[in-house]
Amino acid sequence: MFARILAFEINAEDREQLVKAVKDQMLPILKQQVGFLEMLPLFERKERQEKILTISLWTTRHDAERYEKNLFPQVLEILKPFATTKVEVSHANLETSLCDRFVDALSV
């Protein structure tokens, strides 16, 4: 399993609008992609800002790279109006042997 991690900050008062945009615009794009499994959104409040981490899980690195090349620019345009910092992208392999219950839940 492979993970794409986005990190950026938003103004705290924009949280509800961002959640709506992700739910209505970003998730439908992700759900149509071959190999997409799930997205985990994490919000950390920092005074008037919120740090956002989104982890999207993919079956393979190839699936994630295809999405990144073909559709991530469109997704980035959805996020840009809310981001007060650059949207940083990183990647990681998920060590599934350490989270077998989570992996089982994804396969249901």
pLDDT at 108: 63
Cβ distance 64 to 35 under 8 Å?
yes
pTM beyond 0.85: the answer is yes
**Percentage of the chain with pLDDT > 90?**
81
- The phi and psi torsions of 72 (rounded to 5 degrees) equal -60, -35
How far is the C-alpha of 12 from the C-alpha of 44, rounded, in Å? Answer: 10
Question: Please, what are the domains in the chain?
Answer: 2-106 (3.30.70.100)
Q: How far apart are CA 56 and CA 37, in angstroms?
A: 7
**Residue 85 banded pLDDT, cuts 50, 70, 90:** very high
Residue 37 to residue 35: CA distance in whole angstroms: 6
Predicted local distance difference test score (pLDDT) of residue 39: 95
7-57 per-position pLDDT tens digit = 999 999 999 999 999 999 999 999 999 999 999 999 998 878 899 999 999
Beta strands of the chain (E only): which ranges?
Answer: 2-11, 36-46, 49-58, 88-93
Q: Biggest alpha carbon distance in the chain?
A: 39
Contact 14, 82 (CB under 8 A): yes
